[in-house]
Structure 1
């Protein structure tokens, strides 16, 4: 059973103040033998297993579970999917192939002065989850086992009994009708001069149309497992770092003898 990280409550409280909970995601991929950086603006879809309630979504997520995993969604046809290691095929869901080191950055502007505020940087491993976590594929079973260990149940216990298919469908239902419809549009990023590939731009997918198979086949949920968290408060002029005890981040930054430890995380105040 995973314990809840000591930084989570503060991060969540700050995200709740945002009118639109967006964050920047930095990745790096190999293009033509060169490392190509990418920064994308994504929407925070809640901590995995804690899907925000949407009154327009007829499909509810799981209740009574929680995690520290940061969730977002993507289209498997996008470049982002490939940058994160997503590959369709027999081994596409194995833990080693659907992971990449990333860094997410949230900016929380001050009410008094938008030029200053609070910044959260979360470094970690990103996993593109397979659509179906109930198959007998060895990689899928590994991913499901990993997820169960990362989840915790309110009152005690791990993620055993978590309905992954329900969570997948609920994430799709939590999107706006227009965004749902985009998952059955022509190939993202392809020049329009090549045609629509047999997929004409479609109308939005309503709340009563959540079984649209073409859109669902392209839709994926991804999660970030934090391995280093940094909080900078420009108003209070403070900066705090959290790293898992015994982790590479703790060793590389030589933090073993500093700060305090709570729930397997080391918290260290540093100079801004």
Structure 2
């Protein structure tokens, strides 16, 4: 009998036929068996086998679904997609036909692969030989074991593996048997020879120096003493004898200077800014949730409150605003803290003070800078199919952040300390740290808040001279608008990005602020 000519196979591209045969798209209809088939169940004789013959009118190559089958477990027999009879034009008769192999072994698809090294062992003994395993038959009647609930199968080749000395031996065996096969090449480890002595070999070029500690020379320490002494002196001096510009620099130095800062922007910041731009959101609204003191008869101390707000940008990175001509700070600092503006008379401001560490109980205690209560903000970017969820604390910036009439309050010190820790220097800074002003940044967000008190009944009297609906502010020195205006800064502790563009490949990423490492930790989770 002539031998089959060598055949080429394409690796890692799925099953390849070892002989030119095209399976029918659908099996031909087979007439019902001559006698009725009972439902699966126990029989008296354990060797009893029920079989039926395939009708002569069925199409050639159609799987014999009435081949010899064990009806004690399932009414179908696990036959392959086609059955060989030796008449195939493949140059030689498959060994599966001449050897009298069971029907379940004919025209099977096999995988030829080389197993990888066990991850828990350092040796690679089991990775020297090539293996072959069989596919799982679609009609391989599987059933659930009634005792243990395991998945059982009558396909005896399902867990069978053959060992070969080489890939070529496995391919020749598959072609001889008439199997379809594909080769799965192993991923070989690339080993780079290393030696401890190589560290001391001479290599041309500049000598590489690795610094493990930052050392400050004595001269540099002496040079910084005047600056430290001047900053301390400015804090001690009374406000009446300190110029406004000097007090502004001292305020910045005492709160944000000489503190550990983030070294780089947050990994989510660039995409977040792109999604909240006008390209995706005409108006960047988001839902802000706070906690409100519960009524006296409530079983819990706090209840949630939610409302829509307008995102204004990142703190210290205020984008240009054609409606606000106020001067802005030089590009010195940057941050990953979203901001929005609000009216101090709204409920959200007392809620931020009441749920903070200070636990303010009176509205009068929420008129200045401070706060720090927990918040959660959610953006839905419809065009990008992405939801952003920001969890953290919110701090309120009021006109007393840099005032002339009193010393810094505890709320001002809290804001400058907590917010200053998360501000970092821009790589292309346009000035010095002392040139940056909190008051300038506050005024850059300035908006119009001259309407009557929000939530107040319209039947109650109000100041009609100063408070009007739709009243526009034409000057930055409007006393009423400045008195009601506040900037709220959200300091994120956790940011979640949920991508829902494709339901089959949805993803969620959680970014958590690591206080010790001063960086963001990223984890991908199920949506």
TM-score, with structure 2 as normaliser:
0.43
Instruction: Report deviation, 1:171.
Output: 0.4
Describe the SS at the equivalent of 1:194: coil
Describe the SS at the equivalent of 2:305: strand
Describe the SS at the equivalent of 1:72: strand
The aligned counterpart of 2:509 is: 240
Q: Does 2:294 align with 1:31?
A: yes
Q: Does 2:497 align with 1:224?
A: no
1:47 to 314, 330, 337: 314
Change in Cα spacing, 1:184 to 1:221, as seen in structure 2 (3 Å) is same
- For 1:38 and 1:90, the matched residues in 2 are separated by 18
The aligned counterpart of 2:523 is: 268
Q: Which runs of 4+ in 1 moved over 6 A?
A: none
The aligned counterpart of 2:349 is: 81
- For 1:161 and 1:39, the matched residues in 2 are separated by 37
Matches within 5 A, 1:125-144: 125-135=393-403, 136-139=407-410, 140-144=412-416
- For 2:469 and 2:490, the matched residues in 1 are separated by 31
2:423 to 148, 151, 157: 151
Q: Does 2:474 align with 1:213?
A: no
Deviations 1:47-73 (A, max 9, x none): 011111012321132231211111001
More contact order relative to length (CA 8 Å, sep ≥ 6): 1
Instruction: Report deviation, 1:123.
Output: 0.4
Describe the SS at the equivalent of 1:191: coil
Residue range with higher mean Cα deviation, 189-198 or 98-107: 189-198
Instruction: Report deviation, 1:205.
Output: 2.4
- For 1:18 and 1:264, the matched residues in 2 are separated by 28
Unaligned residue ranges in structure 1 (runs of 5+): 112-116, 248-261
- For 2:330 and 2:282, the matched residues in 1 are separated by 25
Q: Does 2:262 align with 1:2?
A: yes
1:103 to 376, 385, 389: 376
Describe the SS at the equivalent of 1:40: strand
1:57 to 307, 311, 324: 324
Unaligned residue ranges in structure 2 (runs of 5+): 1-260, 355-362
Q: Does 2:475 align with 1:201?
A: no
The aligned counterpart of 1:168 is: 442
Contact 1:49 1:63 survives alignment (8 Å): no
Q: Which has the higher strand share?
A: 1
- For 1:99 and 1:75, the matched residues in 2 are separated by 17
- For 2:281 and 2:343, the matched residues in 1 are separated by 24
- For 1:218 and 1:29, the matched residues in 2 are separated by 21
Report how many residues are paired: 241
Matches within 5 A, 1:15-30: 15-16=276-277, 17-30=280-293
- For 1:90 and 1:21, the matched residues in 2 are separated by 27
Contact 1:239 1:269 survives alignment (8 Å): yes
- For 1:90 and 1:225, the matched residues in 2 are separated by 19
- For 1:200 and 1:60, the matched residues in 2 are separated by 26
Instruction: Report deviation, 1:160.
Output: 4.7
Deviations 1:196-238 (A, max 9, x none): 24544165324x4221101100100000000011010001411
